[in-house]
Amino acid sequence: MITEKYSSKLLENAVNEFSRLPGIGKKTALRLVLYLLKKDESEVNSFCESITSLKKNIKYCKICHNISDTEICDICSQSNRHSGIICVVENIRDVMAIENTHQFIGLYHVLGGIISPMDGIGPSELEIDSLIKRVKEEKVSEIILALSTTMEGDTTNFYIYKKLKNFPVKISTLSRGVSIGDELEYTDEVTLGRSIRNRQDFENSITGI
């Protein structure tokens, strides 16, 4: 079934290119390519233009390394944010996810990935040195480690913790526990066990502080 035979080399080439994208198989790639093929040339051009111009003109914020159109990103240049609290995240999607909660008024630091020896990503590939530099040079009172709860995330957390533990800065991490709306019987054992050990004061939990 999977060894498709395409009626055109050009088509096959385009399908192969699209199927390299994450989560896109050959069938989906064919559907996308045929969709674009039906569109006007101007639409196809503006599709391609959008990605090449992004690639060519994109900037990364000099402070937090978030994707930005300017030297300093929107968040870092907002004067009403608390510059003493830095939330360390893996990538821009995490920044967006946290911003969407409207619960955080500090700044970010985008690592650009997490330590993953399997994928050949070591600490030097990530924006860890620049984080240390921020802690050294700016008045940072707290670093919130907000990485994935995976082995790679934990490794990265620990690496950063070791680098920062001698600085006068509080290092915290996102609270782990049962998701809001989850039923206990479907919560995995590790999460449930940890949420009992790290149980919260009830009054704090209802006020949400």
Residues at the site binding a second copy, with contacts judged by CB under 8 A: 1, 4-11, 13-14, 16-18, 20-24, 28, 30-37, 41, 44-48, 50-59, 61, 66-69, 73-75, 91-93, 95-96, 99-100
Task: State in angstroms the smallest separation of the CB of 57 from a second copy.
Answer: 6
Asked if 81 and 104 touch (Cβ cutoff 8 Å), the reply is: no
Q: What's phi and psi for 158, nearest 5 deg?
A: -65, -40
Task: State in angstroms the smallest separation of the CB of 93 from a second copy.
Answer: 6
Task: State in angstroms the smallest separation of the CB of 145 from a second copy.
Answer: 21
Cα distance between residue 62 and residue 77, in whole Å: 11
Task: State in angstroms the smallest separation of the CB of 128 from a second copy.
Answer: 18
Cα distance between residue 98 and residue 101, in whole Å: 5
Residue closer to a second copy by CB (options 24, 132) is 24
Beta-carbon count within 10 A of 88 CB:
24
Where is 36: in which H helix or E strand? helix 26-38
